[in-house]
């Protein structure tokens, strides 16, 4: 990413270390088996430390500058609550410390296009399994891991396990399974080979929790959405107005694919404003107070936007955002309505003009 930003041409390099395909000194075990070697060729992963040092020396001798960047871990080493040489011996100790005191950085946004290769460069060819000294092996139909290496395959696995099947929601119940593809994430090979970033997986999990679990349980922090979702969960019923708004929220605010069963809108550029919709069709907040009892003591139209209330007013209503009732999972546009509680139950002058349109200004 740094090179792509700072230079005109980029040469991607991967080093196949022949020592990785030899046998161990003791007992002559293969360091890289046929299945792993095949996955590696499909992935083309990172260099080991000794290869990296040799590469540095070669580049230095050739007058080329080397810049290294920390990667491949969920937490950046600078964000750890302890020095790298003082990492706890057990994972539980490590996990408790970082969860309490550290943060996970978001994934780096990839550019739409990488810089070109220098002209006339010889790219060479990927070695074959035979050249690496590894015998090919056919895929056993009984395998629980019938996947290939590479980023595309890894991203497809994330999509299937998270969004298509919802299996991630059952991970704790199924993770000790033995047969089949779906009892666990199966993401470790892609993570180990650098095909997927742990920060990307973390971001997808958070996105899933916000989009699926919070919405299904009526815990998005947007009262009009939560009231409709709780009514659906408890009774199996949701009004037509509720369906339109919840669908808009899921697709336009949370960015979910309408093909997940949400439904679609033929007016592609329409987006409902949850606050204004709530004020138009539940101006006194009675519907919200019926289905979101945590907010029952908030009077009038303020119940539509509790995040705009002062701590004093929230305390008087017995509401603690982030504890008693969640903060909104998304605030952009959804909370944009400026006169969120100025109607105080008055009948709106005009209904229906309650959605946003995408700007045609591409500047």
CATH 1.10.579.10 fits 217-357, yes or no: yes
Q: What is the pLDDT of residue 31?
A: 66
Note whether 162 and 204 are within 8 A (CB).
yes
Q: What is the pLDDT along the chain (363 residues), one digit of tens a residue?
A: 666 677 777 766 666 677 776 776 666 667 676 667 777 766 654 445 566 777 788 888 888 887 777 777 899 989 999 998 899 999 999 999 999 999 999 888 888 888 888 888 887 887 887 887 778 888 889 999 899 888 889 999 999 999 888 888 889 899 999 999 999 999 998 998 888 999 999 999 988 887 777 778 899 999 999 999 999 999 999 999 999 999 998 888 877 766 666 666 666 677 899 999 999 999 999 999 999 999 999 999 999 999 999 999 999 999 999 888 988 887 644 444 334 333 444 444 434 333 333 334 443
Please tell me the pTM assigned to this model.
0.56
Q: What is the pLDDT of residue 45?
A: 47
Structure token digits, residue 50 = 């000794």
Task: Check residue 169 and give its pLDDT.
Answer: 83
- Can you give the pLDDT at residue 59? 83
Query: Residue 199 has what pLDDT?
Result: 94
Pairing mode of beta strands 355-357, 270-272: antiparallel
Q: Report whether 148 belongs to an annotated binding site.
A: no
CA dist 217 and 326 (Å) reads 12
The verdict on whether residue 359 carries a ligand-binding annotation is no
Helices (H) and strands (E) in the chain, counts: 14, 2
Phi and psi angles of residue 166, each rounded to the nearest 5 degrees, phi first: 60, 20
- DSSP 8-state symbol, 270: E
Asked if residue 239 belongs to a known ligand binding site, the reply is no
Q: Would the annotation count 325 as a binding residue?
A: no
- Rounded to whole angstroms, what are the CA distances from 230 to 19, 148, 214, 217, 239? 59, 41, 11, 6, 12
User: Is 2 assigned to a binding site?
Assistant: no
For the chain, give every domain's residue range: 1-69, 217-357
Please check if 186 is assigned to a binding site. yes
Backbone φ, ψ for residue 355 (5° rounding)? -140, 160
């Amino acid at each position: 990413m740094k090179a792509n930003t700072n230079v005109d041409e980029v040469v991607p390099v991967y080093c196949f270390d022949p020592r990785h395909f030899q046998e161990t000194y003791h007992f002559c075990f293969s360091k890289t088996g046929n299945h792993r070697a095949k996955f590696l060729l499909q992935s083309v992963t990172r260099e080991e430390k000794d290869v990296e040092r040799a590469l540095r020396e070669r580049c230095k001798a050739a007058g080329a500058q080397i810049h290294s960047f920390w990667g491949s871990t969920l937490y950046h080493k600078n964000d750890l609550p302890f020095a790298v040489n003082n990492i706890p011996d057990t994972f539980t100790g490590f996990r408790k410390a970082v969860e309490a005191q550290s943060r996970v950085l978001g994934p780096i946004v990839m550019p739409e296009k990488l810089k070109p290769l220098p002209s006339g460069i010889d790219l060479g060819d990927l070695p074959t399994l035979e050249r690496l000294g590894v015998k090919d092996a056919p895929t056993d139909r009984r395998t629980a891991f019938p996947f290939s290496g590479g980023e595309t395959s890894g991203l497809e696995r994330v999509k299937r396990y998270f969004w298509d099947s919802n299996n991630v929601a059952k991970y704790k119940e199924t993770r000790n399974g033995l047969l089949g593809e779906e009892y666990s994430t199966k993401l470790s090979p892609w993570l180990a080979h650098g095909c997927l970033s742990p920060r990307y997986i973390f971001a997808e999990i958070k996105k899933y929790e916000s989009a699926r679990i919070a919405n299904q349980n009526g815990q998005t922090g947007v009262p009009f959405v939560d009231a409709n979702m709780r009514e659906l969960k408890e009774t199996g019923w949701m009004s037509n107005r509720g369906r339109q708004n919840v669908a808009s929220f899921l697709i336009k605010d949370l960015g979910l694919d309408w093909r997940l069963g949400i439904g679609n809108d033929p007016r592609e550029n329409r987006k409902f404003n949850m606050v204004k919709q709530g004020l138009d069709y539940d101006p006194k907040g009675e519907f919200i107070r019926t289905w979101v009892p945590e907010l029952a003591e908030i009077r009038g139209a303020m119940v539509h936007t509790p995040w705009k209330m002062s701590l004093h007013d929230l305390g008087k209503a017995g509401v603690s955002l982030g504890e008693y009732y969640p903060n909104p999972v998304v605030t952009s546009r959804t909370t944009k309505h400026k006169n969120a509680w100025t109607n105080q139950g008055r009948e709106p002058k005009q209904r229906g003009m309650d959605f946003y349109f995408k700007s045609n200004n591409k500047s």
